[in-house]
A and B are shown apart, each in its own frame.
Chain A
Amino acid sequence: MVENLTVFMQKNFFPEPPKKLRNTLGGNKEKHLLGAICIKSRTGVVRPHTVFHIISVFLSFGFHSSAIPSPSPDPALVMVKQSTSRWLPAVPSIIFPRGDSLLFLLAIVSVVSLVTNELSRSYVIAADFEGFDTDEFEYEEDANDAIHSQSINPSPPAATSLAQSSTAESHHEPPQPSVIEDPPAYGVEHGGKPYASSTLEFWDEEEFEGIPFQIADPSPDSPAAPSEPPASAEAVAGYPVPIHRQPFSLSSYAIEIVCISFLIAFAINFFIGRRQNELVALCWASHFATKDSIFDKNFSLLGTGDGKEDAPLLLKEGQDVFKFYASGRRFCQGLLATMELRSRHDLIARLTNLLFNKKDTITFEVVMSEDSMDHVVLAVARKKLAKSMHKECRDLQRFATVMPTAPSGRRWVAEDLLVVTESKEIAGDLITDVVIDQVFGEKAFEKIGKGFISLHFSDQHPGTHKKLLFLKFALPGANNMTDMTRLVNLVPYYIDLIGRYKPSAQARAKTEAARAKAAQEAFKEMQSVRQETLQKKKAEKKKIVEEAEAKLSAEAIRKKEEKERSRQMKKLMPKVKMLRSH
């Protein structure tokens, strides 16, 4: 029965090669032919599909780069999945296109075409065996053997059992006696390598490009090669087990299992983390921005709404950034508090945060009124951070210096802290005894210092608003929000303090000079930039004029030439007099 099957297979899939070829090739070359065919079918037939595939990829690119904002990605994805898993569900979406579904359709078509390409390729390979006409591909036996040891397993057991049978060779080769010039030699040399048609359907042309697919080489002399115990065992047992029906094992789906479980964990973590972040933000808002709280007592407008009763207090920007806005207070135009929370919603960021201990922070950014902030450039932070701020902030870099020693005869900030200021006097005036008592003093800082990050006041801030106060604190957990009450109290306190503050004449003169110098420099810089742009413009204009002239002159020359030519033509032409017959 098995033999009959082989004959059938050979008749159907391996028609007789032309005689010429058979004579020249001999048995051993026959497998090369098959490789040639496969390549031929790949280059000849699959190419149009591949082109279509490329076009479809481009279509999908076009869809994505189009400026039309598409709705949430989910419907598109669902559609794509449906259309690929089954053919029918794609049809209704084509018949009933929705609003901007044309682009989606393009994307779907691209995916569908891809699938058709993939599916049709197998048919093409199965159907295209007429190409027994070339043998352009020669393979070295060494390479064959190297590959051979890799492709042992794909061999269908039917074939290997065939090889075990005594008549394997006779079935394999074309049944014409004239071809077999030296039967025993042929058999040994050839080794009975039947081609497995079933494996051909799963031919991966990309991976096995140009490689003849061949089955194990169980020559009659050594029926069970040591490198292929499973195949020979199957053959001996006589129970051919097709390889693609392997026993189900979890390890073969390891990637899928890991990835899907990670995605599920990611999704769960997203909802939990989002909830946690919202809880922290809402806790903060309920402690400091509700009725009779610090901000309610200090600002007339709370929240990002237009001041109505039910306006939202917090503005959510992304999953881990919340903003709180307040306005309507003396000395300042507005206050914007930005809470940057840990990315609890993001599992990957959460895992990396285990390594780098990131804190929840809140930054108060107070825009002072133009006329209510005098010359103040001051920053207070822990030593390391203060130094880096001094380097990075342009205003600090330009105007301020590190204040090395405390003013004599006064209590001063804690050891850990460093003050960067424009003048000693201003720093001494602004870091008052009250503040030292409450926050920056040695004792107080020990207690609430972990919530303090930095403080930066400047009337020379680069940007649209020059007079800004920055106060950056670390947020405590949602349950101990009251811990930062003192820190939050610093905000209105400093708004008032700085709003009223007037430095002494001496300090003022000094700072005035520095500012005048800076302003002059800025003015000079601006001037030079302006001049540069002016010059550039001039040069451009000149260029344009020159180009136009050149064009004009070219045109003039052309006209002249034409005239000349026509004149010459006239000269050359014989003078013909036309006479009217009547």
Chain B
Amino acid sequence: MKESSSTGSDPRQPSTAKPYVPPPISPQDLPVDYAGFLAVVLGVIGVMFRYKLCSWLAIIFCAESLVNMRNFEADLKQVSMAMMFAIMGLVTNYFGPKRPPKAQP
């Protein structure tokens, strides 16, 4: 239908072609990186209270944030910080002094 309606002649106009200019992305426009935020929070909790689970979850959310990264330079800081905390938490958990095992019924 389209070809017939557009009068048949070639619609192309190479003279008006403009190369693609990526629009400037301001950091505010990017979707909020909830995963990265969660990773930081969980990582800090994992380090502070020595919760293994929190550190592991922080690592998972780090991975989540990493794969959803759009703006590499801007997001890397947060992710690497979260990763640091998560790994720190795991190190203190597994290589630090062991807590006395929980009482078993």
Contact = CB atoms under 8 A, between A and B. Distances in A.
Interface of A: 60-61, 64-65, 69-70, 73, 76-77, 80-81, 84-85, 107, 110-111, 114-115, 118-119, 121-122, 149-154, 199, 201-204, 206-208, 230, 243-244, 246, 255-256, 259, 262-263, 266-267, 270, 297-301, 303-307, 315, 317-319, 321, 325, 327-330, 333-334, 336, 343, 345-346, 348-349, 369, 434, 437-438, 489, 492-493, 496-497
Nearest to B87: A80
Given A304-B20, A328-B17, A345-B67, A115 B95 contact: yes
B103 interface: yes
Contacts of B15: 328
Contacts of A345: 67
A266 B98 contact: no
Interface in B16-32: 16-20, 22
B17 A121 contact: no
Interface of B: 1-2, 5-7, 11-20, 22, 35, 50, 52-53, 56-57, 59-60, 63-64, 66-70, 73, 76-81, 83-84, 87-88, 91-92, 95-104
A230 B104 contact: yes
A300 B14 contact: yes
Given A154-B101, A303-B20, 9 more contacts: A61-B81, A69-B73, A118-B95, A153-B101, A202-B98, A230-B104, A307-B17, A328-B15, A348-B64
A150 to B, nearest CB: 5
B36 to A, nearest CB: 12
A159 to B, nearest CB: 14
A115 B96 contact: yes
Nearest to B72: A69
A246 B1 CA distance: 78
Contacts of B11: 297-298, 329-330, 492, 496
Nearest to B35: A348
B97 A118 contact: yes
A318 B97 contact: no
Contacts of B14: 300-301, 328
A325 B12 contact: no
Contacts, number: 186
Given A70-B76, A300-B12, A329-B16, A119 B97 contact: yes
Contact of B52 (A76, A121, A154, A255): A255
A72 to B, nearest CB: 8
17 contacts: A64-B77, A69-B73, A69-B76, A73-B79, A85-B95, A256-B52, A301-B18, A303-B20, A304-B22, A305-B19, A327-B18, A329-B11, A330-B11, A330-B12, A336-B20, A343-B68, A489-B2
A174 B80 CA distance: 55
Contacts of B96: 115, 118-119
A118 B104 contact: no
B5 A328 contact: no
A347 to B, nearest CB: 8
A297 B11 CA distance: 8
B88 A114 contact: yes
A111 B87 CA distance: 9
A267 B5 CA distance: 50
A207 B51 CA distance: 12
A85 B52 CA distance: 17
**Max count, chain A CB within 10 A of own CB: residue among B1, B101, B102:** B1
Nearest to A61: B81
B6 A493 contact: yes
Contacts of B92: 114-115, 118
A116 to B, nearest CB: 10
Nearest to A243: B101
B83 to A, nearest CB: 6
Contacts of A497: 5
